[in-house]
């Protein structure tokens, strides 16, 4: 594998600086966000590299589990932060985090035990990257789905309440919004699978080829990963929307928008 030097990374960073200057000239209002995101990427990945070096060297389940927990909690926070309106209290953080735990961890465990089969099964060389890809993509799907669910519920609250007054159950009253929200959460991974190999060269496959892996082996791993990500994202999105939509109503099937925070809604 060809090693990159500090000069190589500096050239890539220079492109970001040029882009930032362009955003200033065009008055896009994204300069600070772009530079902060670039700095966060650099710091976070460098720290991750140091942590992974130690985890790979020790190969102890307790450290791998701790790292997986940190990744899960960080993903849960990101899901909550990306929603304009979110469930108040523990639910705002718990719905996304629980859904990702149930889907991503289950799919990753199945892949490690029944498909990839490393020795030991929790080998960090396989477990951490696999879980990271699953969590990252599931996080995006759940965030999009929950944001669509809460926004649509707020915008269509009068229609939902009319359906409830006409005798519909909470599931029937919000059914259309719930289905649309699940579709929104699954669209990114469906588009990624449809374009893979024609429009785009997936990241994992590209990395393996750059590292010297045979192209067909890289292709097989990428197919496996895409299927795992699609199933994890789908199951996680369905679970998150089901939990959140149920929380939007009480036991008497009344719409409870006071349970939302953000935007123009306040918590009661």
Is the CB of residue 170 less than 8 Å from the CB of residue 218? no
Token match 């190589």: residue? 8
The predicted structure's pLDDT at residue 262:
67
Report DSSP letters for the chain, one per residue: -PPPPHHHHHHHHHHHHHHHHHHHHTT-S-HHHHHHHHHHHHHHHHHHHHHHHHHHHH--HHHHHHHHHHHHHHHHHHHHHT-SSEE-THHHHHHHHHHHIIIIIHHHHHIIIIII--SSTT-HHHHHHHHHHHHHHHHHHHHHHHHHHHHHHHHTHHHHHHHHHTT--HHHHSHHHHHHHHHHHHHHHHHHHHHBTTTB--HHHHHHHHTT--HHHHHHHHHHHHHHHHHHHHHHHHHHHHHHHHHTB-TT--B-GGGEEBTTB---
Token output for 106 = 């289950």
Q: What are the residue ranges spanned by the domains of the chain? A: 1-58, 60-261
More confident residue, 198 or 87: 87
The predicted structure's pLDDT at residue 268:
32
Average pLDDT for the chain: 89
Q: Model confidence over 205-233: pLDDT tens digits?
A: 878 887 788 888 888 988 999 999 999 99
Report the alpha-carbon distance of residue 88 to residue 6 in Å, rounded. Answer: 45
Is the CB of residue 136 less than 8 Å from the CB of residue 98? no
266 pLDDT higher than 50: no
Interval 65-70 mean pLDDT: 92
Report the alpha-carbon distance of residue 178 to residue 181 in Å, rounded. Answer: 5
Would you put residue 191 in left (φ > 0), alpha (ψ -120 to 50) or beta? alpha
Q: Model confidence over 2-59: pLDDT tens digits?
A: 788 889 999 999 999 999 999 999 988 899 999 999 999 999 999 989 988 888 888 8
Our CA angle for 161, 165, 166, nearest 5°, is 115
Q: Model confidence over 134-182: pLDDT tens digits?
A: 999 999 999 999 999 999 999 999 999 999 999 899 999 999 999 999 9
Report the alpha-carbon distance of residue 87 to residue 74 in Å, rounded. Answer: 18
Alpha-carbon torsion 20, 24, 29, 32, what sign? Answer: positive
Using omega within 30 degrees of 0 as the cis cutoff, is the peptide bond preceding 120 cis?
yes
Report the alpha-carbon distance of residue 159 to residue 255 in Å, rounded. Answer: 11
Residue 123: what are its φ and ψ, rounded to 5°? -50, 115
The predicted structure's pLDDT at residue 210:
77
Report the alpha-carbon distance of residue 109 to residue 131 in Å, rounded. Answer: 9
């Amino acid at each position: 594998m060809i090693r990159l030097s500090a000069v190589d990374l500096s050239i890539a960073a220079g492109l970001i600086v040029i882009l930032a200057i362009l955003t200033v000239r065009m008055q896009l209002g994204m300069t600070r966000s772009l530079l902060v995101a670039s700095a966060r990427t650099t710091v976070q990945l460098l720290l991750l590299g140091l942590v992974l070096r130690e985890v790979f060297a020790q190969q102890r389940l307790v450290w791998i589990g701790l790292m997986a927990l940190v990744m899960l909690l960080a993903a849960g926070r990101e899901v909550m932060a990306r929603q304009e309106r979110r469930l108040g209290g523990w639910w705002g953080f718990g719905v996304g985090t629980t859904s990702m735990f149930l889907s991503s961890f289950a799919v990753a465990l199945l892949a490690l035990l029944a498909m990839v089969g490393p020795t030991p099964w929790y080998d960090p060389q396989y477990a951490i990257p696999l879980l990271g890809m699953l969590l990252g993509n599931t996080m995006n799907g759940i965030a999009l789905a929950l944001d669509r669910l809460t926004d649509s519920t707020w915008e269509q609250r009068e229609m939902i309440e009319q359906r409830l007054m006409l005798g519909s159950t909470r599931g029937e009253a919000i059914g259309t919004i719930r289905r649309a929200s699940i579709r929104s959460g699954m669209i990114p991974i469906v588009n990624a699978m449809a374009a893979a190999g024609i429009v785009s060269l997936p990241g994992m496959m590209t990395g393996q080829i750059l590292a010297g892996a045979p192209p067909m082996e890289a292709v097989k791993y990428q197919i496996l990963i895409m299927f795992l990500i699609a199933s994890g994202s789908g199951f996680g999105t369905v679970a998150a929307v089901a939990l959140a939509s149920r929380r939007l109503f009480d036991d008497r099937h009344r719409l409870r928008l006071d349970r939302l925070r953000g935007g123009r809604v306040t918590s009661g």
